[in-house]
Amino acid sequence: MAKVVLDFEKPIYSLQAKIDEMRSYHIEGNLDLSTEIDRLEKKVNELRKSIYSNLTRWQRVQLARHPERPYTLDYIYLMFSNFTELHGDRNFGDDKAIVGGFAQMGKQTVMVVGHQKGRDTKSNLMRNFGMPNPEGYRKALRLFKLAEKFNKPVITFIDTPGAFPGLEAEERGQGEAIARNLFEMAKLKVPVICAVIGEGASGGALGIGVGDRLIMMENTWYSVISPESCSSILWHSWDYKEQAAEALKLSAQDLLDQGLIDKIVEEPLGGAHHDPEEAAKNLKKAISDELKSLKKLSQEELVSARIEKYSKMGVYDYL
Amino acid sequence: MAWFKRKEANISATEAEKKDTPDGLWSKCEKCGTMLYRRQLVENSHICYKCGYHFRVGSEVYFSILFDNGNYEEFDAGMISKDMLSFVDTKKYSDRIRATIKKTGLNDACRYATGTLNGQPVVIACMDFSFIGGSMGSVMGEKIARGIDKARELKSPFIMISKSGGARMMEATFSLMQMAKTSAKLTQLSEAGLPYFSVLTDPTTGGVTASFAMLGDFNIAEPGALIGFAGPRVIRQTIGKDLPPGFQTSEFVQDHGFLDFIVPRNEMKEKIGNLMSMLK
Ligand SMILES: [Zn+2]
């Protein structure tokens, strides 16, 4: 059970608390409440289903940001063995908002790279809340190239509120670092699978997000801007985040409908944090299925199909 | 797919009109305040002849400056945005598009055309800031992609003139994906060994900077342009203090290693043409 309860989850948790209370009376007070407990158990399960299957887009955004959600390193340890983290961009430093290294998925060696958030103040400062600086993107690129050299597939995990909008980030070329990754990822000669596991905010997400397959976990979002920033720019107020989330159509289902992603990975009821093992198992299955189909392609076919995939993205009309 | 072709006159209607009205005879420099004689300003590529300030100009002016004798052939001029998401903020996106087309006489924030530069064939794509802040949506992405294909077909250099606030929010994830799309297409231009000149003008920010604008074989800027990824307002909020003078100007970006050179608008053609001839 999650420690952090979101507003829309409160009815579930208060009913659950009532059941727990009854159960203690049932045991301690020699009162037979089993019929009533059964009835409420059924009710709470129905409530859970109805709340979690009718989430608004803004509620999905909140789930995607849930502080107990599994992050990149959690998925790495749940899905792979032998993870060997590799640090640094060989130029400026080691950005801890992006982690990566070789790991094994069964017998297959893969290069895994992802945004990394922290869980408390200290680790969030170290991870910069999952907001990379240019050296983070350059580290990622170094690792992609390493994967290409040894002919190993690349798997990326996307989970960022955005690339860091800081003074030094600009000095060191945040724009150039992201742009370079888009260019280089488009022509990597190995399979690339990208999975959104939490937040996919704008260029900061895309900077490690160009691949042959794009997967989204069920309760994640991916768009050009966060609902809050969109509200502030288009409505000139921070108060329209719910409307902005609706307008941006940023959920996994939306993006599948828009033809921009390939697959949605189901999460345990209530979100990945309710059962990280289950979430990781589903994600691993999706990734290995996609890898299997991609391995049938030659390097040339792989790259030209990837460029073709992106070339088709966009809708327009004629006067 | 239909290819729309249209020959364009050298000077746009609005500019010609301005010349005939008494108000249009003089323009005030936005930087030094000098009253500038309009005909002289136009002859000087819309650069203040007192202080060197570069007025913001659109595709029509760049095409007339860069293409020989201002002659060019534009493609896909009739391509317009499609409101796939039925996006509504304070206005409907579809209404916003219609109103902007009417107001600006443009169909989107990007146009591309072929012609010659110093006698050499070239493809030029250029943005118009007056069209929703030069924002990048599906139309811009597709036009840049087709411009690159045109350059590959003609075996000519590709020149991209950027002037944009970044991605177009009303096209949400579609607009984000244009960054990947244009960058992926540039790998094909590169593969063909064709030069890519990226010209960054005031302002070039956001998703445009974080994709094709920073990927030139030659990254070139006009003097004093605002160039960056995050906007100055956002950075100020993040760091909680004022930004140092000159931050995110062309000169700053060159000093930090991300531009090959800065060139005034009236010398741009000569400089690019010279490089093009050396690479032939
Ligand atoms: Zn002046």
Question: Percent of chain A beyond pLDDT 70?
Answer: 100
Beta-carbon contacts below 8 Å between A and B? 197
Q: Are residues A28 and A120 in the same domain?
A: no
Give the other-Cβ count within 10 Å of A292's Cβ: 11
- Label residue B19 by pLDDT band (50, 70, 90): very low
Residue A223 touches chain B, beta carbons under 8 Å: yes
Q: Are residues A46 and A94 in the same domain?
A: no
Find the CB nearest A223 among B172, B214, B257. B172
Q: Are residues A67 and A50 in the same domain?
A: no
Find the CB nearest B214 among A176, A248, A249. A176
How many Å apart are CA B25 and CA B116, to the nearest integer? Answer: 31
CA distance A39 to chain B (A): 43
pLDDT of A30 over the 90 cut:
no
Q: Are residues A38 and A69 in the same domain?
A: no
In a domain, A2, yes or no: no
- Label residue A1 by pLDDT band (50, 70, 90): low
- Label residue B23 by pLDDT band (50, 70, 90): low
Residues of A in contact with B183 (CB under 8 A): 179, 182-183, 186, 210
- What pLDDT sits at residue B15? 46
- Residue B45 sits at the vertex; the CA angle it makes with B44 and B47, to the nearest 5 degrees, is 70
Q: Residue B222 carries which side chain, given as an amino acid letter?
A: E
Residue A201 touches chain B, beta carbons under 8 Å: no
CB contact under 8 A, B174 and A172: no
- What pLDDT sits at residue B7? 38
Q: Note whether A74 and A257 are within 8 A (CB).
A: no
Find the CB nearest A255 among B171, B173, B215. B173
CA distance B161 to chain A (A): 16
Which tokens is B146 given? 């087709």
DSSP secondary structure string, B124-163?
A: EEEE-TTTGGG-B-HHHHHHHHHHHHHHHHHT--EEEEEE
CB contact under 8 A, A182 and B211: yes
Interface probe for A, chosen from B75, B89, B215 (most Cβ of A below 10 Å), is: B89
CB contact under 8 A, B179 and A206: yes
Residues A151-199 have pLDDT tens digits of 999 999 999 999 999 999 999 999 999 999 999 999 999 999 999 999 9
Q: Note whether A209 and A98 are within 8 A (CB).
A: no
Q: Residue A287 carries which side chain, given as an amino acid letter?
A: I
Interface probe for A, chosen from B176, B190, B219 (most Cβ of A below 10 Å), is: B176
Between residues 229 and 248 of chain A, which touch chain B (CB distance below 8 Å)? 230, 233-235, 240, 243-244, 247-248
Q: Are residues A114 and A22 in the same domain?
A: no
Residue A98 touches chain B, beta carbons under 8 Å: no
Q: Are residues A94 and A238 in the same domain?
A: yes
How many Å apart are CA B257 and CA B268, to the nearest integer? Answer: 20
Q: Note whether B66 and B10 are within 8 A (CB).
A: no
- What pLDDT sits at residue A294? 98
Q: Flag the least confident range among A2-11, A204-213, B110-119, B166-175.
A: A2-11
Pairing of strands B79-81, A316-318: antiparallel
- Label residue B22 by pLDDT band (50, 70, 90): low
CA distance B114 to chain A (A): 20
Residue A179 touches chain B, beta carbons under 8 Å: yes
How many Å apart are CA A92 and CA A132, to the nearest integer? Answer: 13
Q: Are residues A74 and A33 in the same domain?
A: no
Residues A143-159 have pLDDT tens digits of 999 999 999 999 999 99
Residues B219-238 have pLDDT tens digits of 999 999 999 999 999 999 99
Cβ neighbours of residue A319 under 8 Å, at least 6 residues apart? B78, B79, B80, B107
Q: Residue B158 carries which side chain, given as an amino acid letter?
A: F
Residue A282's domain is classified under what CATH number?
3.90.226.10
Q: Flag the least confident range among A23-27, A86-90, B163-167.
A: A23-27
- Residue B274 sits at the vertex; the CA angle it makes with B268 and B280, to the nearest 5 degrees, is 135
Q: Are residues A105 and A205 in the same domain?
A: yes
In a domain, A288, yes or no: yes
Average pLDDT over residues A225-238: 95
How remote is the CA of residue B49 from the centroid of ligand 1, in Å? 7
pLDDT of B9 over the 60 cut:
no
Q: Are residues A192 and A292 in the same domain?
A: yes
Pairing of strands B26-28, B35-37: antiparallel
In a domain, A319, yes or no: no
Query: Residue A127 CA to chain centroid, in angstroms?
Result: 16
CB contact under 8 A, A224 and B175: yes
Strands (E), chain B: 5-7, 26-28, 35-37, 73-75, 79-81, 110-117, 120-127, 158-164, 196-204, 218-221, 261-262
* Residue B22: DSSP 8-state: S
Strand, coil or helix: A46 = helix
Q: Are residues A134 and A14 in the same domain?
A: no
Q: Are residues A25 and A101 in the same domain?
A: no
pLDDT of A280 over the 90 cut:
yes
First to last CA, chain B: 32
Q: Are residues A35 and A155 in the same domain?
A: no
How remote is the CA of residue B56 from the centroid of ligand 1, in Å? 13
CA separation (Å) from A115 to A40, A75, A98, B41? 41, 12, 4, 50
Give the other-Cβ count within 10 Å of A93's Cβ: 16
Strand, coil or helix: A124 = helix
Q: Which residues pair with A264 in a beta bridge?
A: A216
| Total structural domains within chain A | 2
Strand, coil or helix: A197 = strand
Cβ neighbours of residue B103 under 8 Å, at least 6 residues apart? none
What's domain B57-279's superfamily in CATH?
2-enoyl-CoA Hydratase; Chain A, domain 1 (3.90.226.10)
Domain range summary for chain B, segments of one domain joined by +: 22-55, 57-279
Q: Residue A197 carries which side chain, given as an amino acid letter?
A: I
How remote is the CA of residue A84 from the centroid of ligand 1, in Å? 58
In a domain, A121, yes or no: yes
pLDDT of B10 over the 90 cut:
no
In a domain, A1, yes or no: no
CB contact under 8 A, B175 and A186: no
Which tokens is B81 given? 């945005």
Domain ranges, residue A130: 61-311
Give the other-Cβ count within 10 Å of B207's Cβ: 29
Find the CB nearest A224 among B145, B173, B213. B173
